[in-house]
DNA sequence: GATGTTCCGGTCAATGCTGTCCATCGCCGC
DNA sequence: GCGGCGATGGACAGCATTGACCGGAACATC
């Protein structure tokens, strides 16, 4: 993982469909050497996959919300976690520090769908005791592009 | 935007590099008809781009945190928002409901970097009055794959 | 300390595939 | 019946992939 790899990763996060020829120019290598590096990054797991980045509103999920959750005493964490997997509008679920057990990130069509999920799935099932919901009023910035930092010193 | 388009979008979110031939099989169309649909989805803005999905830990950002922020009375929202843009470890920034003005999602190398940003950039600059930081202890689920819902009725 | 060997990573060239373009056909609405 | 949108199929061009060859660094041997 040298600075060439990092340049490749930065470029691929911004545009993963521009082709190896252009990527090779960024990397300063030949096309095949660039392809070899990309392949290695995939095998190592640094590149987990290739995704189309969609407009949430265009696919019917304009509403963004987070739900903080506390489980009932004695409730099963594993059961709660597994229960969330099938819900595809649950984009994220993290165990968090602070007064809450978990924090979920949701994308839904509207408030009725949000309420249905929180009241129905979370509270009724899944051993959830208390919840607190935060709505996104507007989004200033939202990206999945990670900062690709040098391992220690040096700044490209 | 019919059910074929939705199937295409679902497939492209899971694997955007498998090629048109395989995508055409999913869509049940010829290769060129599939390509035409993908092109239209890009032009319409439904597909915003093509990204490599990276492992955060592998690129040096293992720590995930959210920072809730309240601006000082009279502070400029626009200035705050614009000030965040250059920080690439700020993945998200939303104006939110509830007691806080904004909620930021951060990916950083470790606690020192997190503290440096919150204390230095947010509190000292940018007109921030109060902050509250939530750390991710573990991540159960984290995806950018959106549910591609039918516009109204019907379920594929 | 010098030299030979091996391995890793790069370039270059050829091949196979795949995405793109175009003409044609079928279907639906007017 | 006519016009337009969308899908089909084939031909072409461009690109990714593969293999052979080359160079340098690390290690072992003399």
Give percent above pLDDT 90 in chain A.
86
For position B153, what pLDDT does the model report? 45
For position B1, what pLDDT does the model report? 80
The low-confidence residues of chain B, meaning pLDDT below 70, are 151-156
Q: Are A66 and A98 in contact (CB under 8 A)?
A: no
Top CATH class of B56-135 equals: alpha beta
Contact residues, chain A, for B141 at CB < 8 Å: 81, 84-85, 90-93
The reply to whether B36 Cβ lies less than 7 angstroms from strand D is: yes
Q: Are B156 and B84 in contact (CB under 8 A)?
A: no
Q: Which fold would CATH assign to domain B3-44?
A: Arc Repressor Mutant, subunit A (1.10.10)
**Distance (Å) from CA A6 to C1' D27?**
29
User: Cα torsion at A121, A123, A129, A131 (round to 10°)?
Assistant: 90
Q: Is A70 helix (H, G, I), strand (E, B) or coil?
A: strand
* pLDDT higher than threshold 50 for residue A156: no
Do A95 and B134 make contact, defined as CB atoms within 8 angstroms?
Answer: no
Domain range annotation of chain B? 3-44, 56-135
For position B55, what pLDDT does the model report? 96
Structure tokens, A100:
């809450």
> Cα dist. A73→A91, A125, B130, B138 in Å?
25, 14, 32, 20
Strand D neighbours among B 13-32, CB < 7 A: 29-32
pLDDT one-digit tens code per residue, A15-74: 999 989 999 999 999 999 999 999 999 999 999 999 999 999 999 999 999 999 999 998
Q: B3-44 and B56-135: same fold?
A: no
The reply to whether A20 Cβ lies less than 7 angstroms from strand D is: yes
* pLDDT higher than threshold 50 for residue A95: yes
Do B54 and A146 make contact, defined as CB atoms within 8 angstroms?
Answer: yes
Contact residues, chain B, for A150 at CB < 8 Å: 60
* Angstrom distance (rounded) from CA B11 to CA B26: 8
Contact residues, chain A, for B95 at CB < 8 Å: 136-140
Q: Are A88 and B148 in contact (CB under 8 A)?
A: no
pLDDT one-digit tens code per residue, A129-155: 999 999 999 999 999 999 997 765 443
Q: Please report which confidence band the pLDDT of residue A127 belongs to, taking 50, 70 and 90 as the band edges.
A: confident
Residue closest to D17 C1′ by Cα: A32
């Amino acid at each position: 993982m040298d600075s060439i790899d990092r340049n490749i990763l930065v470029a691929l996060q911004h545009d993963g469909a521009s082709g190896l020829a252009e990527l090779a120019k960024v990397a300063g290598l030949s096309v095949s050497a660039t392809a070899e590096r990309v392949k290695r990054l995939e095998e190592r797991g640094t590149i987990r996959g290739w995704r189309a980045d969609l407009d949430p509103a265009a696919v019917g999920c304009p509403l963004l919300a987070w739900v903080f959750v506390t489980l009932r005493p004695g409730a099963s964490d594993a059961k709660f976690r597994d229960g969330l997997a099938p819900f595809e509008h649950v984009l994220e679920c993290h165990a968090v520090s602070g007064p809450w057990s978990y924090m979920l990130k949701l994308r839904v069509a509207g408030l009725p769908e949000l309420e249905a999920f929180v009241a129905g799935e979370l509270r009724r099932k899944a051993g959830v005791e208390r919840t607190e919901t935060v709505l996104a009023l507007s989004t200033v910035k939202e990206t999945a592009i990670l900062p690709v930092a040098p391992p220690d010193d040096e700044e490209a």
